[in-house]
């Protein structure tokens, strides 16, 4: 966990992970930390025109204009110091034809070139959404179902009572309907999202679902000596 201390009211974000050799918009590569806002900003369509192309999606525009520029109604970025902490990177937009995928097969597909006809495979920008694989890899499993079993279980099946440890011990699971970045490769309007009971499914981009901004921090952002990195005592970042 970390919070941004530059704003008068801190926000809590979660660290998804450190991603090696991320390609930035300028073409260079660096190891970057990927973060996600801890709370949803409400419910909104992925795309109001029901098209699963992130490069033109209405939610993409909302996140990278109103939200990024501080004019969105809820939780927008309020100052230049915070905005300047976010790196512009190349996001992968690979799709899948079915929600019957494990975290690892989602990961491969997200970085692949299989998309619905005419859709781009990458998009350069600052703010996007988590992938299904981010959600899947975030579980620690539990005493009944260990992490290895969760990794071998398709995310579509995570609602099952026999694998409840997978979602219950997943730090990205919020118990709400929540959009991911992954589109369907076989249907022009479907996008994958996390169901409130913990499994991943595909549905129309026009539906109103929860959303949490996701970003990569610039490599020069440092952690202050405040915070332990826990939910109760998050790291605080020096961004000013």
Mean pLDDT of 44-58: 98
Mean pLDDT of 184-202: 97
Tell me the sheet residues that pair with 13. 2, 37
Nearest partner of 88 among 73, 68, 104, judged by Cα: 68
Pick the more confident residue, 80 or 141.
Answer: 141
Secondary structure of residue 110 in the 3-state scheme: helix
What mean pLDDT is reported for the chain? 92
Residue 7, pLDDT > 50, answer no
Nearest partner of 184 among 133, 116, 123, judged by Cα: 116
* CA-based torsion, 230, 17, 38, 89: positive or negative: positive
Percent pLDDT > 90 in the chain is 81
Q: Is the pTM of this model over 0.85?
A: yes
Residue 92, pLDDT > 80, answer yes
In this prediction, residue 56 carries a pLDDT of: 98
By mean pLDDT, which of 43-47, 97-101, 169-173 is the weakest? 97-101
Residue 225, pLDDT > 70, answer no
By mean pLDDT, which of 41-45, 156-160, 229-233 is the weakest? 229-233
Residue 3, pLDDT > 70, answer no
Tell me the sheet residues that pair with 178. 194, 210
Rounded CA-CA distance 217/230 in Å is 19
In this prediction, residue 1 carries a pLDDT of: 46
């Amino acid at each position: 966990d970390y919070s941004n201390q530059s704003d008068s009211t801190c926000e809590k974000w979660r660290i998804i992970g450190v991603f090696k050799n991320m390609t930035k918009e300028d073409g260079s590569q660096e190891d970057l930390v990927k973060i996600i806002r801890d709370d949803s900003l409400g419910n909104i369509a992925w795309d109001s025109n029901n098209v699963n192309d992130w490069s033109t999606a209405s939610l993409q525009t909302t996140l990278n204009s109103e939200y990024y520029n501080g004019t969105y109604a809820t939780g927008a970025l309020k100052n230049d110091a915070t905005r300047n902490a976010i790196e512009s990177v190349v996001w992968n937009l690979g799709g899948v034809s079915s929600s019957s995928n494990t975290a690892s097969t989602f990961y491969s597909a997200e970085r692949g070139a299989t998309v619905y006809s005419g859709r781009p495979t990458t998009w350069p920008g600052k703010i996007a959404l988590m992938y299904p694989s981010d959600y899947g890899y975030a579980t620690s499993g539990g005493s009944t179902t260990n992490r290895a079993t969760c990794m071998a279980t398709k995310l579509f099946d995570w609602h099952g009572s026999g694998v409840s440890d997978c979602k219950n011990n997943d730090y990205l699971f919020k118990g709400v309907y929540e959009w991911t970045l992954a589109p369907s490769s076989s249907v022009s309007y479907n996008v994958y999202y996390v169901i409130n009971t913990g499994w991943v499914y595909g549905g129309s981009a026009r539906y109103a679902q929860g959303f949490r901004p996701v970003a990569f921090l610039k490599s020069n952002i440092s952690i202050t000596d405040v915070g332990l990195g826990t939910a109760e005592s998050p790291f605080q970042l020096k961004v000013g």
